[in-house]
Amino acid sequence: MAQTKSSGRRSAKSNGQTSAGTAAGNTQLEKFFGDSLKDIYWAEKHLVKALGKMQKAATTEELQAAIGEHITQTQEHVSRVEQAFEILGKKPQAKKCEAMEGLVKEGESIVEETEDGSMTRDVGIIVAAQKVEHYEIATYGSLVQLAKTMGQNEVADLFAQTLEEEKQTDQNLTDIAENNINWEAEQEPAEAEQ
C-alpha cells in the first residue's frame, strides 16, 4: 500500500513553480497529466463529429445554432490541447476516452428513441449535451489545477479559456431548455398522429 504522506498544505497557487526545472514527463504527476491530455484530445476530436450529428438531429433552429457555435469552440479546444502537447515538448497523441465514447453513445440512442422534429428530441439532446459539458468541465477544472501545480502556467491559461467556454455552453443549454423547449415538450403527446 502506498505510504501515507501528509499533504503539508503547500499552496501551488502561491508560487506556481513547484516543479520548475523538471523536464516534462519526469514525475509521476507529469506522466499522469500527459495521459490525461491524450484522453481529452481523443474526446474533443470525437466531439467535433458527434456534435455535428446532434446539430443535424435537433428540431429547433435555436438549439442547432447553439450546437453550431460550440462545434467551432470545440475545434479550438482540439487545437489548444495540441498547443499544450507542444508546450510540454510532446507529440500530440490521442487515446480513446471510454467515458466520452459512452456519453456520445447515450446521446445517439436518445436521438434514435425520440421522434424526428419533436421538442422532446431537443430536450433529449440538451440533456445528453449537458452531460458531455459536465464531463469536460470536470476534466478541464482538474487540468488547470494540475498544470498550475506543475508550474505550467501557460498550459493552465490555455485550459482555463476552454473551461470557461464549456461552462458558458452548459449555461446556454440550460437557458434554451428553460426558455421554452422543456415547456413545449411537456405538451407533446406520447404518440405522433398517424
- Give the interface with Fe ion as residue ranges (CB under 5 A): 74, 77, 136, 166
Nearer to Fe ion, 31 or 96 (CB): 96
- Whether 58 and 125 have beta carbons less than 8 Å apart is answered as yes
Least separation in angstroms between residue 115's CB and Fe ion is 26
Nearer to Fe ion, 44 or 122 (CB): 44
CB proximity list for 188: less than 8 A, separation 6 or greater: 118, 119, 120
Least separation in angstroms between residue 74's CB and Fe ion is 5
Cα(47)–Cα(56) distance, integer angstroms: 14
Q: Which residue is nearest to Fe ion (CB)?
A: 77
Least separation in angstroms between residue 43's CB and Fe ion is 8
Least separation in angstroms between residue 135's CB and Fe ion is 9
Question: Which helix (H) or strand (E) segment is 77 a member of?
Answer: helix 61-87
Report phi then psi at 6, rounded to 5.
-75, 140
Least separation in angstroms between residue 40's CB and Fe ion is 8
Among the listed residues 135, 142, 145, 146, the one whose alpha carbon sits nearest the alpha carbon of residue 169 = 135
Set of cell numbers at residue 27: 514525475
Nearer to Fe ion, 80 or 151 (CB): 80
Nearer to Fe ion, 73 or 182 (CB): 73
Set of cell numbers at residue 58: 435537433
Nearer to Fe ion, 30 or 136 (CB): 136
